[in-house]
Chains A and B, each alone.
Chain A
Amino acid sequence: MIELLAKYNYWIVIILLTTGLYGVMARQNLIKKIIALNVFQTAVLLFYVSMSKIKGGTAPIVMHGQEHIYDNPLPQVLMLTAIVVGISTTAVALTIVMHIYREYGTIEEDRILEMNKHND
């Protein structure tokens, strides 16, 4: 059982990653695409943080006087900032989607491409 679970989080990461990837490629709706990108992003975060967990470890906050195993703080630092940067860039993307809607009246990618063809 433990041998089987040793790579469990990798599989979850891969499924989430490909779900997000498929969503970005196949969904025509731009907001859906952005949500899919967010799913993709959290999959990457999960990959990093899964690496940092050590069996029997505790959160990396030093407690003096006792011997403890601590989890790896480095991936946590990197992912912590990535989340905040992620929401900021998502906001910029959503704003651009809003502009697209104002110009074209739709947020479906295929219709936007069609309209562009007619305008040329």
Chain B
Amino acid sequence: MIDVAIPLFLVVCGIAVLLMKDLMSSIMIFSVYSLMMAIEWVRLNAVDVAITEAAVGAGISTVLFMIILSRTKSVDESKKSVNILALLVAVGVAAILLYGTLDLPNLRNSNIAPNTHITPYYLENSYEETGQLNVVAAILASYRGYDTLGETTVVATAGLCLILLLRGRNSKQSTKDTQKDRVTNLNKLSVDDAGVKLSEMNPTGADKDKDIIKKTVTKFLIPFIQLFGLYVIVHGELGPGGGFQGGVILGVSVIVYSLVFGLKESQKRMSIKTKDLLVSSGVLIYGGIGVIALFFGGNYLQYNVLLPDPKFASTLGIMGIEIGVGITVAAVMITLFYETVRLVDND
């Protein structure tokens, strides 16, 4: 029964997100939507996906949307008319897809094409070949290692994009004389808008006593969050976990710290320069392990040549690249937060 109820709830949330006039409630509902999605992943036994969704969807993306909201307007001002053309297109697409499901195989069936092609090989041989009990980690790091390297690079590139988009702005603004009036007016406006909310989010020294509970609890919690993040990264070979999931959790710990203590305090612990270095060094570790394998006479990212014992070597190699992925993902998640929040401090 719960397998029927959760997807229905997802649909309700999905539609409500679009109907909300206030963007803040829209984001809150989207956060609930992500949390329900995480539960649905657990129902579908996709535990690794569930960890990632809970940390990313319900955690980081909500914070990110809220930061951007505090810099822009929080009310959807568009007229509430139904766009007939868009509705027609959407219904048309739905109809075509529904017709398509007639040909799709029934779900929960082990004989359908996606489950018969290469998967039985992975399930049978992954432990012998890679030393990983968690087949998800084995495929991620070993069988599809190139793919994951590419994806880690994409994540790092997105972090670099953010740095370029947001950090380059200040030097450019002084030379932009033509639009100066308009820009300064707008900046004033956005600062006024943001100022109220930001003081709630980023308390400065003035109202220290007000959030003593928040600070004490956070101080107490953060070591555990970080320990859990490290556990998830290193434990990926035996249970659900790995670089992506653990990296996100590590990133969240720093974000929580700066939400409660303010950006300045948090940058004393994790400076922007360190974080920038970490973004690229994670990818470097990943790519570097591949190159080391080349020196030992194997193929790129072929871990089992690294040591005499192939299974142990492969376990070590996979742990190495999981750590690399974890570093990059954590650093990029911190970048998302630092760079978007820093904007107001500069104005």
Contact = CB atoms under 8 A, between A and B. Distances in A.
Contact of B98 (A14, A19, A22, A39): A14
B244 A14 contact: no
Contact of B90 (A18, A38, A42): A18
B65 interface: yes
> Among A18, A83, A96, A108, which residue has the most Cβ atoms of chain B within 10 A?
A83
Interface of B: 3-4, 7-8, 10-11, 14-15, 17-18, 23, 26-27, 30, 33-34, 37, 40-41, 44-49, 52-53, 56-57, 60-61, 64-65, 68-69, 71-73, 76-79, 82-83, 85-87, 89-91, 93-94, 97-98, 101, 104, 106-110, 112, 114-115, 118-119, 122-123, 126-127, 133-136, 139-140, 144, 147-148, 151, 154-155, 158-159, 161-162, 165-166, 169, 179, 182-183, 185-187, 189-190, 238-240, 242, 244-245, 247-248, 329, 332-333, 336, 339-340, 343
Q: Is the interface of A mostly helix, strand, loop or mixed?
A: helix
Contacts of A94: 64-65, 68, 340
A71 B104 contact: no
B240 A89 contact: no
Interface in A70-111: 70-77, 79-81, 83-92, 94-99, 101-108, 110
B331 to A, nearest CB: 12
Contact of A50 (B37, B44, B136, B329): B44
A103 B173 CA distance: 11
A73 B98 contact: no
A103 B26 contact: no
A31 B78 contact: no
Given A12-B10, A62-B135, A21 B89 contact: yes
A77 B165 CA distance: 31
Given A38-B30, A74-B118, A84-B329, A49 B49 contact: yes
Given A16-B10, A59-B45, A62-B123, A35 B26 contact: yes
Given A62-B133, A71-B46, A88-B336, A29 B23 contact: yes
11 contacts: A15-B14, A18-B91, A32-B23, A42-B57, A49-B44, A52-B44, A55-B110, A85-B155, A88-B336, A106-B73, A106-B77
Shortest beta-carbon contacts, A-B, top 4 = A88-B158, A28-B78, A6-B106, A25-B86
Interface residues of A, number: 84
A58 B45 contact: yes
Contacts of A90: 61, 64
Contacts of B118: 74
Given A73-B123, A84-B329, A108-B77, 6 more contacts: A18-B91, A35-B65, A76-B48, A88-B158, A101-B186, A103-B183
Contacts of A26: 82-83, 86-87
Nearest to B83: A26
Contact of B89 (A25, A35, A36, A58): A25
Contacts of A51: 107, 112, 114-115
Interface of A: 5-12, 14-23, 25-29, 31-32, 35-36, 38-39, 42, 45-46, 49-55, 57-64, 69-77, 79-81, 83-92, 94-99, 101-108, 110
B119 A74 contact: yes
Contacts of A49: 41, 44, 46, 49
A92 B343 contact: no
Contacts of B4: 5, 8
B140 A97 contact: no
Contacts of B68: 31, 94-95, 97-98
A27 B73 contact: no
Contacts of A62: 123, 126-127, 133-135
A42 B44 CA distance: 14
Contacts of A60: 45, 123, 134-136
Contact of A105 (B61, B109, B154, B189): B189
B233 to A, nearest CB: 13
A85 B101 contact: no
> Among A17, A62, A81, which residue has the most Cβ atoms of chain B within 10 A?
A81
Contact of A91 (B72, B162, B183, B239): B162
B137 to A, nearest CB: 9
B46 A98 contact: no
